[in-house]
Structures are given as C-alpha cells and as structure tokens.
Structure 1
Amino acid sequence: MTVLDEGALRTAHMVASVLLGYPDERLYGERRVLAEAVAGLPEGEVRTRLAAFLEHTAATGRAELAAHYVATFDLKRRCCPYLTYYAYGDTRKRGAALLRFKHAFRSAGFELADGELPDHLAVVCELLARGAVRQGRRLLQENRAGVELLRKALEAEESPYAGVVAAVLATLGPASLRDREAALRLAAEGPPAEEVGLEPYAVMEASR
C-alpha cells in the first residue's frame, strides 16, 4: 500500500471531490489539469483508480455521464452519496449527525452555503483537499462503513464511480476489523426509515 504525504493526500481528495460531483464544466473544462494532478501522485491504487475514471470521462459524452450520475446517485437509494444516511436514514438522529459535520467545517474555518448537505462525500473530500486534513480524515473514518457500502453498491451497479470511491477509501489505509463489522451490520440492517424534515445545509465556502 502506498502511503501518501499530506500534499499528495490533498491532491487526491481535490480530484476525487471534482469527480464525485455532478459532471459539469468543472470536470470537463479542467480534465487536463486533473489528469496532470493525478499523474503526479505516487504509483498505487489511488492514482490508478482516479486515472481510470478520467480515462472513462474522455471516452464518454458529457450528457451520457450526467445521465448516469443522476440515475445512480439521485435515483438509487443504496448509492446515496450522503454519508450519514447509511447509519441514520431519514431520522432525527441523522440531524444530530449532520450537525457534527457542520461543526467540523466551522472549526476548520469554512462556512456552508445553500444547496448541499455537509455529509456529501464530494464535499468532505473538498474539505480535506482545502487544508482541513485532520477534520476531513476524521469524518471519513467515522463514517467509513457508509463509504464502504457506497463502494459496494456502485460496484454492484457496475458504475465507474466505484473506482473513485475506492480511491478515497485507499487514502484511509486498510479497514480495521471494527470497520468491516460495522459495514456488514449496516448492510444487513439497512438505514432506519423514520421520515423527518432535515434542515438544508450547504456546500462550503471559505469563510472570509
């Protein structure tokens, strides 16, 4: 396993945050820059998987990839990119978990703007990429079981996004026995089903 230094770790998460977002101009307009960033990473699973997804985007039309993104992440609950969903579903406990994410962003000097929940995997990757390495890693480690389930669901759908999620997991190192047991438990039980309203959180913006 290749261990990434902080600079490489932030680069990998910067790329992953773009790839895991909706495939808009940020991805297609900066694909060459993203490819150069990935090429500068140490050899290993992270670089290989990110490079493979970028190659896929080069061979896939923007409209086609966008349709796949919506069909996968918006229409399939088991492919939910919101990390707290796996453990809490749409319950009041999830609201408390989202507050933990929000506090982590604020402690790192970032504010949340309208439009996104703070537990979206792409947003957490961006947090880490922009310098909040400790906070970002902690959030990912605490919700690793959910990330593992997302990867498995994407693999079952034969989605190229599975490789990007696998790259994010690879930056965290091998899963512990506790992590594996938690993932198996979540997979067996599924998320709780209590429906409640959740306060909309948002995509982060650097506080000024």
Structure 2
Amino acid sequence: MSRTFKALSALLCYPTEDLQAAIGEIRTILADEAVLTPPQVAALQPLLERMETTDIFDLQEGYVLLFDRSRTLSLNLFEHIHGESRDRGGAMVDLLETYRAGGFDLVGPELPDHLPVLLEFLSTLPAAEARGLLADAGPILAVLAERLTRRETPYAAILSALADLGQAATDTEVAAALLSEADDDPEDLAALDAVWEEAQVTFAPDPNAGCPVSRDILAKMDAPQKPITSPARAGTLN
C-alpha cells in the first residue's frame, strides 16, 4: 500500500483545516516513502508551503477557481474524453467494477472517475498495478499537468508527478486533441454558466465532504457481496 497516493489524493481535495494540519505528515510521507523522485518531491514544496501558511478561505477560493469553475481542469477524468456521451456512463460502470473487484465500493458524493478517488484506490494496489492504471489515464493526466502549468499554479506539480509515474506524454493523439481546446476563463461567469447549463450536470467535489485526511474515501467502502480474488484492470481511462 502506498501512502504517497493517499497524500496526493488529499492534496487534490477541497482544502480544509484538517488538511492544513496534516501537511507536515504529508511532507514526511512523500520524502520517506520515495515513490516520487527527489526532484518531484522538491517541486511539490511550494504547494505544501502554500497549504500550510495561507489563509484557509484563500486556499478554498483558489481551489474553486481552478477545479470547480474550469471544466478544462475538471478532476473528473472521463469528463475530458467522453463529455456527456453515453460512453461516459459505461466507462463509469467499468471503473466502479474495478474498485469492487479490488474489494471496495464507492461511498460519498464523488464520482468514480474523480481523481482523488482513483488515487485512494491506487494506494491499496501493488506498485505495478497502480502504475498501470495511471498509464491508462496518462493522456488526461499529462494534459491536466500542462494546463495547470500554464496557469502557473503549484497544483501542477501533482499532475506532473502522476503523469511521470504513468509514463504519460502530451504528444499522443488523445492529448493533442484535448490540448487543442481553449482553456476556460474562470472569471467569465456568463460563459461558464452557459456551459454548465448546457451540460445539465454539475461536476465538482462537495465542499462539505472534506478530504481523505479526515474522511477516507475508500477506507470505509463496503466489500462487494460477491468477492473477486484478482482485481480487474479495466482499460476504461484511455
């Protein structure tokens, strides 16, 4: 089990005071477990320092601007490749079955393709399987890393590290197609309202749901009624 994936999951959740209090522990985990390289850990330090020292309301406002009001930065992975098509529903089911095959069932308001949820699940897997699932999501992770880098936000370091672990790059056909889309302007409220109204679905983390530091997304999942001995690796994140 990798506590590093749990730590990264926590950092990608809506900021809370519990998360701020856990930054010291997260910093220790990232350094001691050595899942990430020293340069990757160093790249995360500005985000950790910001989380630790910035007023919680400023952190929350910044998070909402990035991930709630920018669809091109959505942490719901299938949103980027399936949009609102029926394919997304099938991909959701396949991913949920992957969780259940691993002995977990999703509870809480998050969708199965929400990146912090996926990272929580990866923390329960052997390293090779976890990297395989990251590779499935690779093009999306690489694109999110690129978009966050353009925004000059320290959150980019998380996605860059995950893309590296999944050996992902932005020179694939899928990544190129995603990067060809214009970035959202989180300050253009009229345009964003029109987009959300057209989609008729709200994709955002529940601000009241906390983060894995105070509410493990998967630790309290119920075991499936029909246990499956070997977790299936569904290729649903391509």
TM-score (norm. length: structure 1): 0.80
Per-residue deviation at 1:132?
Answer: 6.0
Distance in 2 separating the partners of 1:116 and 1:36: 27
Paired letter, 2:157: G
1:118-129 residue pairs with structure 2 within 5 A? 118-129=112-123
SS of equivalent to 2:105: strand
Taking a change above 3 Å as real, the CA distance of residues 91 and 196 of structure 1, as seen in their structure-2 partners, is farther
Calculate percent identity across the aligned residue pairs: 28
Q: Does the 8 Å CA contact 1:35/1:54 hold for their aligned counterparts?
A: yes
Residue deviations 1:60-91 (CA, integer Å, cap 9, x gap): 22111111001110001111111111110111
Larger CA deviation: 47-56 vs 81-90: 47-56
Q: Report how many aligned residue pairs link the two structures.
A: 193
1:4 is aligned to none
1:152 is aligned to 146
Structure 2 unaligned regions, length at least 5:
183-195, 207-216, 224-238
Paired letter, 1:158: E
Per-residue deviation at 1:134?
Answer: 5.5
1:5-154 residue pairs with structure 2 within 5 A? 10-42=2-34, 43-131=37-125, 133=127, 136-154=130-148
The alignment yields a C-alpha RMSD, in angstroms, of: 2.7
Distance in 2 separating the partners of 1:103 and 1:71: 32
Q: Does the 8 Å CA contact 1:110/1:206 hold for their aligned counterparts?
A: yes
Per-residue deviation at 1:133?
Answer: 4.8
1:162 is aligned to 156
Per-residue deviation at 1:154?
Answer: 1.2
Distance in 1 separating the partners of 2:139 and 2:16: 29
TM-score (norm. length: structure 2): 0.71
1:182 is aligned to 174
Structure 1 unaligned regions, length at least 5:
1-6
Distance in 1 separating the partners of 2:166 and 2:126: 15
Taking a change above 3 Å as real, the CA distance of residues 159 and 68 of structure 1, as seen in their structure-2 partners, is same
